[in-house]
Chains A and B, each alone.
Chain A
Amino acid sequence: MTNVLQPIGAAVLNGLEQIGRIALFALEAIALAFRRPFYVRLIGRQLIDIGYYSLPVVGLTAIFTGMVLVLQSYTGFSRFNAESAIPNVVVISLTRELGPVLAGLMVAGRIGAAMAAEIGTMRVTEQIDALSTLSTNPIKYLVVPRLIAGLISLPFLVAIADIIGVFGGYVIAVYKLGFNSAVYLRNTIDFVTDLDVVSGLVKAAVFGFVITLMGCYQGYHSRGGAQGVGAATTNAVVSASIMILVLNYFLTEVFFSR
């Protein structure tokens, strides 16, 4: 019996230990974020990397998601003569769920991986040790600017994704399915509430933090040369993606279940 239970117990303990380590890492970074010096330049560079250069990927994801959403809901809703609900469904699903989750997943693939690879390479080539010997706290220098930039840029990306997604849906509805343009826009704007948008942006901020945290954590703790860096990169993307999906559920519960 113990032979069966032992590996399960070991895996659970290992998992809990990991969670504890990640939490301590995050707390250390947060504490350091409020201590001088503030690396404004580095934050700026990361904002450009995470925010600006992710725009094409996130924009493409959003526009096609909006388009397919209209197409699918039309085939379903037309059976019940409920086509007029399509604009509401599209705008609510985009702002509440699809915008933050899909943008988060795309950015996790793009940024989380890049961060883990860069910081992981710095670890295995002793550049992180070198930072310490040059009177620079490596967590403060490498991790804090990335976390701040992730926290700030994801809400902006998601706001843009929301707009592009709704626009994609509008184009298909009006030019392919023959909706009246003014009515479609009216229905979209009348039905979306502040809470829909705000909840999506809060989610985005949380996801931005999680993506950069996992990228930095996995990279920072990578060992064993090229293979270690490869594993760190994979772990960063996988763990960030899973955390996005799990946290998405709990955040939704916080905002909408009462």
Chain B
Amino acid sequence: MTAAPKIAVAGLHKSFGAKKVLRGVDLSVGTGESVVVIGGSGSGKSVLIKCILGLLRPEGGSILVDGQETVGLTGRDREKMRRPFGMLFQGSALFDSLPVWENVAFGLIQGERMPRRQAKEIALNKLAAVGLEAPVGELYPAELSGGMQKRVALARAIAKEPAVIFFDEPTTGLDPIMSDVINKLIVKCVRDLGATAVSITHDMVSARHIADRIAMIHEGRIVWSGPAAEIDNSGNPYVDQFIHGRAEGPISMPVRSL
């Protein structure tokens, strides 16, 4: 980990109406590091990523990217700040009106004004990198299985060779084998690009696979963070409960008897 973090989040607050989702998140991600944020459903993981990407506007706190404040950026400054970012969405979020190759090439054609033929060549390369052959490029997203869609979405996220890639629940909804394939692809892509990676997941297998460092979020705050290898002896009751998947512990799910 280098001295200046790639992304430094401090005191981040975000609420929706009366519901406070983030209550002062502090998180720093070093250049080239892979950080996985774990936490239960509704703990604010997705909101955290969307604030960093500028898709949601936080009420308070700061987000530094390469030392530059990004909270409150608008218009072209926001677009410029987002350019070195790539994102893999939970539901893949492929554009269903476009064939697969155009989905992958979208950022190159629309964002960087690259000629279509050249962009298609790169798109087919990226598809090959995630194990999909050229004929798949001509299909539409609706014709693919969930696992294939995820791989196309991964190819799209890495097409612009971003410096930072965000992964939102990359293995949710996939079978264990496909999950392993996606995890391996993520590790390989991040390594090949030398990119910084920020992932959120509640899948511990995936988290152990991808992470250099793991941070646990609970009720809008980071309650623990440390190297992935130390997750089993964190000594933190929240982390212990989460990684062992126990219903009893400090994280309580109030259930009324029937």
Binding site for B on A (CB under 8 A): 37, 122, 125-127, 129-130, 132-137, 141
- Set of chain A residues within 8 Å of B96, measured between Cβ atoms: 127
**Given contacts A135-B82, A135-B83, A137-B79, are A130 and B89 in contact (CB under 8 A)?**
yes
- Set of chain B residues within 8 Å of A133, measured between Cβ atoms: 53, 55, 82, 85-87
* B55 close to A132 (CB less than 8 A): yes
- Set of chain A residues within 8 Å of B110, measured between Cβ atoms: 37, 134-136, 141
Chain B residues numbered 40-89 whose CB sits less than 8 Å from any CB in chain A: 50, 53-55, 79, 82-83, 85-87, 89
- Set of chain A residues within 8 Å of B107, measured between Cβ atoms: 134-136
Chain B residues numbered 6-44 whose CB sits less than 8 Å from any CB in chain A: none
* A129 close to B89 (CB less than 8 A): yes
A37 → B minimal CB distance (Å): 7
Q: Does B213 lie at the interface of the complex (its beta carbon under 8 Å from any beta carbon of A)?
A: no
> Of A125, A127, A133, which is in contact with the most chain B CB atoms at under 10 Å from its CB?
A133
B230 → A minimal CB distance (Å): 32
* A136 close to B106 (CB less than 8 A): yes
Q: Which 9 A-B pairs have the closest CB atoms?
A: A135-B111, A134-B107, A126-B93, A130-B93, A133-B87, A136-B110, A126-B89, A127-B93, A129-B55
* B106 close to A125 (CB less than 8 A): no
Choose from A37, A129, A141 the contact partner of B93 (Cβ within 8 Å): A129
- Set of chain B residues within 8 Å of A132, measured between Cβ atoms: 53-55, 82
Q: Does B234 lie at the interface of the complex (its beta carbon under 8 Å from any beta carbon of A)?
A: no
A-B contact pairs, 6 of them (CB 8 A): A125-B91, A126-B93, A129-B87, A130-B89, A135-B79, A137-B79
* B50 close to A129 (CB less than 8 A): yes
Q: Does B125 lie at the interface of the complex (its beta carbon under 8 Å from any beta carbon of A)?
A: no
A129 to B110, CA, bound (A): 15
| Chain A: CB-nearest residue to B111 | A135
- Set of chain A residues within 8 Å of B160, measured between Cβ atoms: 134-135
* A135 close to B90 (CB less than 8 A): no
Choose from B54, B90, B112, B156 the contact partner of A126 (Cβ within 8 Å): B90
B173 → A minimal CB distance (Å): 13
- Set of chain A residues within 8 Å of B85, measured between Cβ atoms: 133
A80 to B111, CA, bound (A): 68
| Chain A: CB-nearest residue to B159 | A134
Q: Does B256 lie at the interface of the complex (its beta carbon under 8 Å from any beta carbon of A)?
A: no
A142 → B minimal CB distance (Å): 10
- Set of chain B residues within 8 Å of A135, measured between Cβ atoms: 79, 82-83, 107, 110-112, 160
Q: Does B117 lie at the interface of the complex (its beta carbon under 8 Å from any beta carbon of A)?
A: no
1/0 per residue B146-189: CB within 8 Å of A? 00000000001000100000000000000000000000000000
- Set of chain A residues within 8 Å of B53, measured between Cβ atoms: 129, 132-133
Q: Does B113 lie at the interface of the complex (its beta carbon under 8 Å from any beta carbon of A)?
A: yes
A133 → B minimal CB distance (Å): 4
